[in-house]
């Protein structure tokens, strides 16, 4: 689903509680993070768990480290080289990133250290490898930089205001416009994954074709610590509320035709697109890119099976998924690395039932090589919308979850390879919007 690596470890862990502020001189974060990394790679889970802050200890128990996180790390093979870490210091927490070359590819282990020297965050993402410089993003051939210009904007207001970029076609408006909504985890406005920036591709590709596009930093990226303090966190706070504010802002821009404003959701954003549309009846239409139609926890299990997770990890996930299915209240610790309030809210949401209530235009796009969102989900949208008067579907056999062309079996390491969203996808979206 939402992240480009095993969701059971990484995708939801990013929204778990970070640190609280501590007075006094903070210890150096790098040796603490390196010790945690060494313990993780050496399977020293008890010692690693002792380094966590209270929230992390509750969210990522020693058993979860052993049966879920450890096997996932091992699936990438031997850590053949660990590069020099980069540090993003902060007043409350510091973020230390270690580039690692595993047998299966290059990944970054990102460790958050609070001012008390405790570990308050742990993530694994596709990376560029130790000693390698990140491949700079360059516009795909289908982008015409002279056809549009960018303007920085702010979505919402304190305490949750978010920076964004509005790409506006040059010339006389008003223009049709699209708001882009990311997948799960602390995504930036470009939805950067490894060497790729699919939302920048889409924004500049559509802006080159006369369509304005607004993209913005996700709340879990800008305010990770503050988000962790929210009691009974749901997708409303993570995604939906900000998407609605972005749509409102877009309609106020002088270059935009407020009657031709669309929402494009990718992955988690696509799954939630009908729910967002239900709350914004002014929407001209929604674009669903790789959206699931089944329960999130079931999709997570499918991903783990696809990637060959060990049997004990699968068993642990099945047990937690069963508990999610039967949730009655939000009391208790996290399940599958997300708060119970998160799951309790999603248990009430059926995207297929919700999309059937909509009267706006709907475009559904699916990559044929996508292992995170698969053919049963695409078929789910087709079934739900078979009576809809204005629904359009496109399946792209060679595209992965990022809608980038590839060959063979899609795996997480594929996201390390630089690429661009297919021009066919850009053209199909632009044509559909302008119809």
All structural domains of the chain with their residue ranges: 13-126, 145-290+350-434
pTM (2 decimals)?
Answer: 0.82
User: Mind listing the pLDDT tens digit for each residue in 320-345?
Assistant: 999 999 999 999 888 888 889 999 99
Q: What is the mean pLDDT of residues 80-97?
A: 82
Name residues whose C-beta falls within 8 Å of residue 72's C-beta, 6 or more positions apart in sequence: 6, 8, 9, 124, 309, 313
Q: Which two tokens stand for residue 335?
A: 């399940």
Instruction: Please report which confidence band the pLDDT of residue 11 belongs to, taking 50, 70 and 90 as the band edges.
Output: very low
pLDDT at 14 over 50: no
Q: Which residue has the tokens 């969701």?
A: 7
Question: What is the pLDDT of the chain when averaged over all its residues?
Answer: 88
pLDDT at 23 over 60: no
The CATH class of 13-126 is alpha beta
How far is the C-alpha of 382 from the C-alpha of 189, rounded, in Å?
A: 29
pLDDT > 70 in the chain, percent: 92
Catalytic residues: 267, 370, 401
20 vs 52 pLDDT, higher one? 52
Instruction: Please report which confidence band the pLDDT of residue 92 belongs to, taking 50, 70 and 90 as the band edges.
Output: low
Q: Please give the pLDDT value at position 114.
A: 83
> What does the DSSP assignment read for 355-414?
HTT--SEEEEEEETT-SSS-HHHHHHHHHHTTT-TTEEEEEETTB-TTSBB--SS--GGG
Same CATH fold, 145-290+350-434 and 13-126? no
How far is the C-alpha of 174 from the C-alpha of 22, rounded, in Å?
A: 51
> What does the DSSP assignment read for 122-136?
EEEEE---TTPPPPP
pLDDT > 90 in the chain, percent: 63
Instruction: Please report which confidence band the pLDDT of residue 156 belongs to, taking 50, 70 and 90 as the band edges.
Output: very high
The CATH class of 145-290+350-434 is alpha beta
How far is the C-alpha of 390 from the C-alpha of 293, rounded, in Å?
A: 19
Give the C-alpha distances (Å, rounded to integers) separating 22 from 55, 161, 221, 264: 15, 25, 21, 40
Q: State whether residue 416 is helix, strand or coil.
A: helix
Give yes or no for a cis peptide into 273 (omega within 30° of 0).
Answer: no
């Amino acid at each position: 689903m939402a992240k480009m690596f095993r969701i059971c470890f990484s995708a939801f862990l990013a929204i778990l509680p970070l640190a609280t502020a501590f007075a006094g001189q903070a210890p150096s974060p790098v040796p603490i993070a390196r010790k945690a990394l060494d313990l993780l790679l050496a399977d020293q889970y008890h010692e690693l768990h002792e380094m966590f802050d209270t929230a992390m200890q509750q969210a990522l128990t020693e058993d979860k480290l052993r049966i879920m996180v450890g096997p996932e790390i091992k699936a990438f093979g031997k850590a053949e080289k660990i590069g020099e870490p980069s540090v993003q210091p902060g007043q409350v927490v510091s973020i230390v990133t270690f580039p690692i070359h595993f047998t299966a590819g290059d990944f970054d282990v990102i460790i958050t250290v609070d001012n008390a020297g405790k570990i308050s965050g742990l993530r694994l993402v596709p990376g560029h490898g130790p000693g390698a410089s990140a491949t700079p993003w360059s516009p795909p051939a289908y982008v015409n930089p002279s056809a549009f210009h960018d303007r920085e904007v702010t979505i919402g207001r304190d305490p949750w205001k978010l920076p964004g970029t509005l790409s506006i076609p040059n010339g006389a408006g008003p223009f049709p416009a699209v708001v882009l909504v990311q997948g799960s985890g602390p995504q930036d406005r470009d939805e950067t994954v490894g060497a790729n920036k699919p939302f920048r591709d889409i924004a500049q590709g559509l802006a080159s074709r006369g369509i304005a596009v607004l993209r913005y930093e996700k709340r879990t990226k800008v305010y990770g610590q503050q988000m962790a303090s929210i009691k009974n966190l749901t997708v409303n706070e993570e995604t939906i509320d900000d998407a609605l504010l972005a749509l409102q802002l877009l309609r106020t821009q002088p270059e935009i035709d407020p009657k031709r404003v669309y929402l494009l959701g990718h992955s988690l954003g696509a799954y939630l697109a009908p729910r967002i549309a239900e709350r914004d009846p002014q929407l001209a239409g929604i674009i669903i890119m790789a959206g699931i139609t089944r329960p999130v926890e079931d999709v997570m299990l499918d991903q783990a099976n696809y990637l060959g997770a060990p049997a004990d990890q699968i068993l642990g996930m099945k047990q937690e998924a069963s508990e999610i299915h039967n949730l009655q209240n939000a009391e208790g610790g996290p399940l599958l690395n997300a708060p119970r309030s998160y799951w309790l809210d999603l248990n009430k949401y059926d995207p297929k039932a919700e999309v059937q209530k909509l009267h706006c235009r709907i475009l559904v796009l699916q990559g044929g090589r996508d292992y995170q969102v698969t053919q049963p989900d695409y078929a789910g949208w087709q079934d739900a919308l078979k009576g809809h008067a204005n629904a359009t579907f496109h399946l792209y056999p060679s595209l992965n979850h990022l809608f980038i062309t590839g060959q063979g079996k899609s795996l997480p390491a594929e996201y390390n390879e630089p690429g661009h969203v297919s021009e066919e996808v850009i053209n199909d979206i632009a044509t559909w919007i302008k119809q």
